[in-house]
Chain A
Amino acid sequence: MVLFLLGMAAWAQAPRKAGVPKPGAAQLSPSITLVDVTRAAGLDFHLTCGGAQKLYIMESMCGGIAVFDFDNDGWMDIFLVNGSTLDDRKTGTCHPGKLYRNNHDGTFRDVTAKSGLNHCGWGFGVAVGDYDNDGHEDLYITYLEGAVLYHNNGDGTFRDVTAQAGVGNPGNWGTSAAFGDYDNDGLLDLYVTNYVDLDLNHLPQFGDGPFCTYRGIKVSCGPRGLKGSRDRLYHNNGDGTFTDVTEKLDIDPGAYYGLGVMWLDYDRDGCLDLYVSNDSSPSLLYHNNCKGGFTEVGAETGVAYSSDGREQAGMGIDSADYDNDGWPDIVKANFSDDTNNLYHNDRTGEFTDMAGASGFGPVSLPFLAFGMKFVDLDNDGWQDVFVANGHVNPQVDEHSFGVTYAERPLVFRNLANGKFAEIGLKMSPPLSRRYAARGAASADFTNSGRQDVLLSVLDGSPVLLRNQSAPSGHWLRIQLIGKRSNRDGLGARVEVKAGSSSQLLEARTNASFESASDPRLHFGLGRADKVDSIQVRWPSGTIDKIENESTNQELVIEEGRGVVDRHAAAPSGLRPSR
């Protein structure tokens, strides 16, 4: 910085041209309305995560959300992971997670007591997947000390099968996890991101040392200065057990600080690749060689670092084809003083961070993002992005950094021309309120054809944002049932053509931060009043083609058989009032 000399010559201000939207951009211009219905919906959960001052790093990282249909009634239920405190951990006081059953009327009922989801620990993330292909979604929950795999018994109860399955992640602090079938054998494998190798008896002291400061003030230590914990990849053996293939496949040899994971097929070769966001270290993109192995290609593909080649504090991640060019793109949440990434898939095996050009990045600078979800909130056929924010250091509120501990979420509306507009402040009050938010998941909880958003909030209640946008576009929802492929159809690539629009979605449960969203594929269709074609490319290689379907319905597509069931939209009016 220099102080410039006085009396400089005048300079004519050069005019610049504004960006010109593509012709035929957004087909609709509805307002997006999200209403906080948490209390009315009966979600009485309180997320406990350490003390208010967040003296230690693990006190800032809780917040797993699972949206899944645990009882196969066609309505999305909710499991919320709970954390703990250091004192309660010592005394054995439990803060159980909660399972909420969807009552089909916009409300939920706490059914935890009889569910068997009762592990006592400091929980973080949760993954959803039917690992044994029995038609019932199972749960994998990460804890400060290990992890638990719950088998869904199909009768409203779950059974802890961690020991026999061999996925206990022993001695590790797991954060996010995700099921995906990397070798296309029809069985879901499991990836677990591990964060920091903490000695709970000798925790680094708050503010003590060079890695315990933020902008010159004392804060909790880490992750830098602490030992990273190596992620784990478990291969599903098909007999209820898994084999840890981390070392064999050279996964995370640098033991980076893992926080986010998702499976995607970025090069469309039919084999699931893997993207892992790491805190304060390079993020990793594992290219699947379709022969049972991976090559880490993060740096050369452009998704490991910021555009300046700097490590970022990567948190939540998600993937969707935001520009409808047929190739999955990636978003990544980062720390404050940094922009979130919007990695555009260049189709050449490389990505370009379009955060600046798209309007997605700069506005995020003061925000510390965790949960991040692609979600078409207005059903216009273009993926919007919801970002859950909240700082890790409450101490920032004592200073005028321009950064606050609790932060409002960001809602980026896709303008259908490669650009996004952040509209959070123009929306209803829940979006202008500040939260120390972490997990974010999307789901159509009312089966009404609109996607809602659920946030987890540190030391507080979750926030269920009911989508009441109007007018909203037409839509199509697809539930997959794999036969040769894994039963959930995770990893399937679905392309829907309606009118002039063509969209691609990949089936996955887990993305964002520590969370799983509605596994059904939701396509906003704008003004299109019929679906011209649907193509499902299953992980097995099977392709199902369906033509001429009506909109505003849910199709159940079974591998090799096409549409086996269909459900109309639930009647309106079942949403609770504000």
Chain B
Amino acid sequence: MNGAAWVSPMSLWRVGCVALLLCSGISLFAQANSPEVARLLREAQAALAAEDFPRAIQNFTQARQLAPANLEAARGLLLSNLQAGHPAEVIAAGREAATRWPEDPQLLHWLGLAYFKQGQLDPALAALQRSAKNDAAGFDIHFDIALVLLSKPQYPAAAEELETALRYSPQQALAHVLLGRAYLNSNRTLQAIEQFQTALRLQPETPLVHYHLGFAYASLGRNSEAIAEYEKELARAERNAELRYQLGRCLLETGDWKAAIPHLQAAVQLDPRNGDAAYNLGKALLQGGEIEAAIVQLQNAGRLRPEDPSPHYQLARALEKAGRKVEAGEEMRRFSELKKAQPQTGGMATGRVQ
């Protein structure tokens, strides 16, 4: 799992930026030190409000040239570039501005977001944490730090930031969802469920919350509850490959291979690179007695997950059932070889792919 992809930086970053924009707009004029600079800042602000980002950038750049020491021009330039989707420019301008205003929380905040957008998580975290050090109050900064921490991934630390953020703004459903995910990945499953349920109470339409709730239930073996939640999510996300996979897998765990097969087939179709889906589809087909189709999927899973012994174990059993004993023996040998090469972690083994 890619941590940066997990939090979908683009959409969440935009949420954060909108909030910052709303907070910072009034003060943009406060430090205008000439009529011309004041005019440029006014026009830039209007452009920003109208989402005319090129014009906003142009005006903030001119204001910055006329008044290099004007903090609001520097902030505006960063913000408009950030909004325009130019994180590289934000980073360049932000680093320069940060030499002049090294402790300014807003500059640091936006610089941090730009780094995050570029996938540079360490400088992003450093900038955001410096911002928080100078102005720790408010939901946004803690929420954004949490986004970076979730991407690193540092779940317990992310959970702490989200807990802080929610103390400022407890009604933010999305933050509850992310806190739930942070808890879930910190093995705090029961607390995760509480967070997802809170998000649902606050905003029933919160995206993916049923999915996450289902995942948490499934991890506790509460499969009927998990399936119910997945199916609620399915009502609005039919073409979500990951959802189809998890639902299919959960159904398969309950032994309902018949119901699992269409979901796993959909998961494989929607994301042909998902070796887990192919593997579970192979297992489901095998349970359903479709041995040749199972063999095809398990071979596919073996190709997609070349270092994973599991597909070879299932394949050996499928080939055995198909009467292809020599091939079955080969697969069992391959399974043993891969198993030996796998590092052992933790004191106790569990037989379930988590």
Contacts and interface: CB of A to CB of B under 8 A. Distances in A.
Q: Do A and B come from one complex?
A: yes
Interface string B163-198: 000000000000000000101001111110000000
A212 B347 contact: yes
Contacts of A312: 349-351
A366 B220 contact: yes
A308 B351 contact: yes
B345 A4 contact: no
B269 interface: no
B348 A362 contact: no
Interface residues of B, number: 65
Nearest to A392: B348
Contact of B237 (A11, A216, A299, A366): A11
A2 interface: yes
A399 interface: yes
Interface string B1-18: 100011110010000000
B255 A11 contact: no
B310 to A, nearest CB: 5
B207 A6 contact: yes
B345 A9 contact: no
Interface in A301-317: 302, 305-313
A401 B239 contact: no
Interface string B332-349: 100110010000111111
Nearest to B312: A309
Interface in B234-258: 234-240, 242-243, 252-257
B247 to A, nearest CB: 10
A338 B221 CA distance: 9
B156 to A, nearest CB: 9
A357 B251 CA distance: 10
B320 A356 contact: no
Given A281-B349, A356-B253, A2 B1 contact: yes
Interface residues of A, number: 67
Contacts of B348: 214, 223-224, 279-280, 313, 335, 392
B108 to A, nearest CB: 26
Contact of A337 (B234, B336, B350): B350
A358 B188 CA distance: 29
Interface in A386-440: 392, 399-402
Given A222-B347, A400-B188, A400-B191, A11 B332 contact: no
B242 to A, nearest CB: 5
Nearest to B338: A309
Nearest to B216: A402
Interface in B311-344: 312-314, 316-317, 320, 332, 335-336, 339, 344
A210 B11 CA distance: 38
B82 to A, nearest CB: 21
A211 B313 contact: no
B351 A338 contact: yes
A9 B239 contact: yes
Contact of A2 (B5, B234, B239, B339): B5
A313 B231 contact: no
A225 interface: yes
Given A4-B243, A300-B320, A400-B191, A310 B350 contact: yes
Contacts of A309: 309-310, 312-314, 335, 339
Given A224-B347, A313-B349, A356-B254, A8 B187 contact: no
A13 B234 contact: yes
A217 B317 CA distance: 36
Contacts of A359: 254-255
A565 B353 CA distance: 53
B221 A6 contact: no
Interface in A321-338: 334-338
Contacts of B350: 310, 312-313, 334-338
B201 to A, nearest CB: 20
B66 to A, nearest CB: 41
Contacts of B187: 215-216, 399, 401
Interface string B245-286: 000000011111101001000000000000000000001000
A16 interface: yes
B352 A338 contact: yes
B223 interface: yes
Nearest to B257: A357
Nearest to A354: B255
Nearest to A11: B238
A402 B219 contact: yes
A302 to B, nearest CB: 6
A20 interface: no
A280 B211 CA distance: 31
Nearest to A223: B347
Contacts of A2: 1, 5-6, 242
A364 interface: yes
A10 B332 contact: no
Q: Report which residue of B191, B211, B346 has the largest number of chain A beta carbons within 10 angstroms of its beta carbon.
A: B346
A102 B228 CA distance: 51
A308 B189 contact: no
Q: Report which residue of A213, A224, A279, A400 has the largest number of chain B beta carbons within 10 angstroms of its beta carbon.
A: A400
Contacts of A211: 344, 346-347
Contact of A3 (B8, B252, B309, B313): B8
A14 B208 CA distance: 19
Nearest to B237: A8
Q: Report which residue of B186, B252, B253, B348 has the largest number of chain A beta carbons within 10 angstroms of its beta carbon.
A: B348
B236 A400 contact: no
A26 interface: no
A213 B351 contact: no
Given A10-B238, A356-B255, A362-B254, A311 B221 contact: no
Contact of B235 (A5, A12, A306, A365): A12
Q: Report which residue of B5, B7, B187, B317 has the largest number of chain A beta carbons within 10 angstroms of its beta carbon.
A: B187
Nearest to B217: A402
B349 A280 contact: yes
Given A219-B347, A224-B344, A402-B190, A310 B352 contact: yes
Interface string A214-249: 111001111111000000000000000000000000
A365 B238 contact: no
Contact of A9 (B191, B236, B336): B236
A339 interface: yes
A106 interface: no
Nearest to A402: B189
Contact of A4 (B235, B240, B255, B312): B240
A335 B223 CA distance: 18
A1 B8 CA distance: 11
Nearest to B5: A2
A365 B11 contact: no
Interface in A349-371: 350, 354, 356-359, 361-366
Nearest to B352: A338
Contacts of A356: 252-255
Q: Report which residue of B332, B336, B351 has the largest number of chain A beta carbons within 10 angstroms of its beta carbon.
A: B351
Nearest to B208: A4
Q: Report which residue of A223, A334, A402 has the largest number of chain B beta carbons within 10 angstroms of its beta carbon.
A: A402
Given A3-B208, A308-B313, A312-B351, 10 more contacts: A3-B6, A5-B11, A11-B238, A13-B235, A224-B344, A300-B316, A305-B313, A309-B339, A311-B349, A338-B351
12 contacts: A3-B8, A9-B236, A11-B238, A14-B262, A210-B346, A213-B347, A224-B349, A281-B349, A310-B310, A313-B350, A338-B352, A357-B287
Which 6 residue pairs are nearest across A and B when measured between Cβ atoms?
Answer: A306-B351, A357-B255, A365-B221, A309-B313, A11-B238, A8-B237
